[in-house]
Amino acid sequence: MQPLFYKAESKWRPIGWALLALLGQIVALRMIEAGPSIRYQHYRTLPRLISEQPLWLAFMVLQTGAVLWGLTTYGGQIWVWLKQRFKLWQLFGMALVVLLPSAAVSRDVRVYLWELPFAAFVQLLSLGNLLLAVLTLPGSVLARWQERFQRWFGALEPAPDVSVRDTRGIDRLALWGALWVTVIAAALSFFSYQRHPHIPDEVVYLYHARYLAEGKLTLPLPPVPEAFDVDLMNYEADRWFCPVPPGWPLALALGVLLGVSWLINPVLAGVNVVLAFLLVRELYDRRTARLAVLLLCISPWHVFMAMNYMTHTFTFTCMLAAALALQWSRRTGRGSWAWLSGVATGAVTLIRPLEGFVFGLLIGLWSIGVGGKRLKFSGLAAFALGGLMMGAAVMPYNKYLTGSPTKFPLMAYADKYYGPNSNSLGFGPDRGWGWQLDPFPGHGLPDALVNSNLNAFSLNIELFGWGTGSLLFIALLLFAGGWRRPDGLMLAIIVAIFTAHIFYWYSGGPDFGARYWYMMLLPCVVLTARGIQWLEQRMRDDGHNASVASGRVLAFVLLASAITVSVYFPWRAMDKYYHYLFMRPDVRVLAQQHQFGRSLVLIRGERHPDYASAVIYNPLDWQANAPIYAWDRDPAIRAKVLAAYADRPVWILAGPSVTGAGFQVVAGPTPARELLQQEQGAQASAH
């Protein structure tokens, strides 16, 4: 079989193909409707593309023609190589894994039946284009680049001896990767996310962190609770509090105390790069760990999750720390590492209980020898002690808030506001909160199938942002064979988290990818790295020039990743997450511009996004010498609020759902008593 590279030493051909691939990704993204609304992204239908974007469609037609022409040189060789390496059922299986998640299901089945083949075609077009870019690279160029690749990632070994592990120090690549992720995530948090919560969960996480930072477990009830109504806050006769698990708000409280709450997740994401490098190096080898670092650094799922105020990045930190400490205990025999692993595992249950249960089960099995060497009895005891110490810490917290050490506040909240069992695992007509993205009433097998499709689609898009789809190399490894023992551990995590969420009524929505599946991030990254290595090795085994064989594979990965960073990152940051869900920090700006001071600010609009955007700037003391932001919900509630704050001047703001843009000052400052008299006079005239 002839080597798969262009024989003529032309440097312009690969550059041309690379530019075409970059432009093709830009055009494909322009055809997508995503935006800041809470919805999954979809391609426009063909009639809309023809009428609204004929130039982009014409470009795609031209790109298709160019790629088909280019593949006339290499298509036959590629097909022969595939037939030599794979059986037909393996090729079919890989195609399903790569192409089936290329589109999200739609309520209108006809739309889905159009979009799925179109989205699959776009992925195949990108794959063909990128292949042409790397196959036309001259061997002399690749030979020079291969020297750099070996310095960056290490030499490709046919079968590295994992029994003799290189555990010296931390690579500069991991440290630079950690710095890169932290800086990029912080920049996105500052400029795209504007240091402002956008998802209802984030609002209460910040509120929770603020009062925990002051040493409080609950807050006094607002003077007019109906005017301070916030999702995921529990209102009782004399107190209100956030019912979410306390693990993440406690960590976020550190940022509150330092005045940099928006930096906590970016810093943790950088830490996660280093922890991931150390863990993968322990389980595999240094080269696999370096590839994992590269993939984490360009993963939109990883980086964009790090710019928000959500729980997942800290959960990932604790999981990595737990697994790494357990592996160190196994290697060194030290019980202290096992105890630390138990503590970190227990911490996961304090952040995301379902993931904590799944992860605790998996790492518990790992500790007793399933998939690895069993810990010594002293290590097992230390691990169990650490887990119990940390996990049991939630019991007095639960008792204080719900009256029962085993009743979680979030479950009590769901039962109270949405009905008994509404947030429980399992199937039944009483599951669910009636949200817009819940596929069907209740929860049954159809819901599980739809939720799985939505999450698989998000994973395929957000994991690496490649135009080919992100599951390409995972599919290759799944059906190619050549598995190592740690690969089974990675696959077990994927299967476990997938299975657990079959029984939950909600998919997690489109916020930051398949966020309920975020525990799959490292396994997907590692299996992708292993798929890359498998292809590199096969290319060499098939007689290709050893100096360029793996170079072509790595060139493909680096080119696809460069397009992700230069095209996908800015598109996603501006198209979706800038003013995501129409949440805006305008209130913070207007307060400074107009010097609201000790005033009452009435917010006109919806509970979300209008009031949710403002409530986070409320002080914890309802009589503080600061602006008090209340929801101008209706005339009766407005009158109660004005009476409660009769000594303050009043500003009135119209929110985004009213203005169609940002917050605007409608009136003010007006004395509250004067407005109250006007309200009373208007009511008297009406009667």
* pLDDT at res. 6: 43
The CA distances from residue 364 to 359, 387, 520, in Å, are 8, 10, 18
Q: Tokens standing for 203?
A: 């609002």
Task: Describe the chain by its helix, strand, coil percentages, rounded to 5.
Answer: 65, 5, 30
Please count the CA atoms within 13 angstroms of the CA of 481 that sit on its side-chain side: 5
Domain termination site, one of 403, 418, 433 = 418
Is the residue at 25 inside a domain? no
What tokens were used for 385?
A: 């002690």
Q: Which of 497, 494, 522 is nearest to 507 (CA)?
A: 497
| Predicted local distance difference test score (pLDDT) of residue 678 | 79
Q: How many angstroms separate the most distant Cα atoms in the chain? A: 93
Q: Total structural domains in the chain? A: 2
> What pLDDT is attached to residue 437?
86
> Which residues does residue 32 pair with via DSSP β-bridges, in sequence order?
43
- Asked if residue 443 belongs to a domain, the reply is no
CB of 306 closer than 8 Å to CB of 268: yes
Collapsed DSSP state (helix, strand, coil) of residue 577: coil
What's the chain's Rg over C-alpha atoms? 27
Closest C-alpha among 5, 51, 54, 115 to residue 556 = 5
Q: What pLDDT is stored for residue 372 in this prediction?
A: 81
Indicate the SS3 state at residue 14. helix
pLDDT in the model for residue 541: 72
527: its two tokens: 């299996």
DSSP 391-419: HTTHHHHHHHHHS-TTS-HHHHHHHHHH-
Range(s) of the domain holding residue 414: 312-418
Those residues whose C-beta lies under 8 Å from the C-beta of residue 184, and which sit 6 or more positions away, are 303, 569
Residue 650 in domain: yes
Q: What are 617's two structure tokens? A: 């700037």
Q: What is the mean pLDDT of each run of 10 residues along the chain (687 residues)?
A: 48 91 97 92 94 95 96 88 89 94 92 95 97 89 80 73 64 95 98 96 96 96 94 93 96 96 98 98 95 97 97 98 96 94 97 95 93 89 95 95 95 94 94 89 94 96 97 94 88 95 94 95 97 88 63 93 97 96 95 95 96 96 95 93 94 95 92 84 63
Give the integer Cα–Cα distance in Å for 233 and 187: 30
**Residue 404 domain-assigned?**
yes
| Residue corresponding to tokens 């002051």 | 214
Please report whether residue 355 resides in a domain: yes
Task: State residue 462's pLDDT score.
Answer: 97
Residue 469 CA to residue 454 CA, distance in Å, equals: 14
Q: Residue 653 forms beta bridges with which residues?
A: 603, 665
> 3-class SS at 443?
strand
Q: pLDDT, tens digit, for every residue of 626-639?
A: 999 999 999 999 99
Please answer whether residues 572 and 514 qualify as being in contact, where contact means their C-beta atoms are separated by less than 8 angstroms.
no
Q: How far, in Å, CA of 234 to CA of 342, rounded?
A: 31
Q: How far is CA 285 from the centre of its chain?
A: 27
Q: How far apart are CA 619 and CA 210, in angstroms?
A: 9
Structural contact between residues 331 and 541, judged by C-beta atoms closer than 8 angstroms: no
Does a structural domain hold residue 559?
no
CA dihedral of residues 130, 131, 135, 140 (deg, nearest 10):
40
* Cβ-Cβ contacts under 8 Å for 356 (sequence gap 6 or more): 345, 346, 348, 349, 350, 391
Cα 217 to Cα 397: distance, rounded to the nearest angstrom: 9
33-38 long-range contacts, Cβ below 8 Å, gap at least 24? 34/572, 34/575, 34/576, 35/575, 35/576, 36/575, 36/576, 36/577, 36/578, 36/579, 36/580, 36/581, 36/582, 37/581, 37/582, 38/436, 38/437, 38/509, 38/510, 38/511, 38/581
- What pLDDT is recorded for position 604? 97
Sign for the CA dihedral angle at 195, 200, 204, 207 comes to positive
Last residue of a domain, one of 377, 397, 418: 418
Q: Measured in Å, how far apart are the chain's first and last C-alpha atoms?
A: 92
| Dist CA 285 CA 539 (whole Å) | 20
- Dihedral of CA atoms 277, 278, 283, 285 in degrees, nearest 10, equals 70
Q: Would residue 102 count as lying in a domain?
A: no
| Alpha helices per DSSP H over 1-53 | 12-30, 46-52
Domain end position, chosen among 368, 396, 418: 418
**Residue 107 lies inside a defined structural domain of this protein:** no
Distance (Å, whole) CA 173 – CA 67: 35
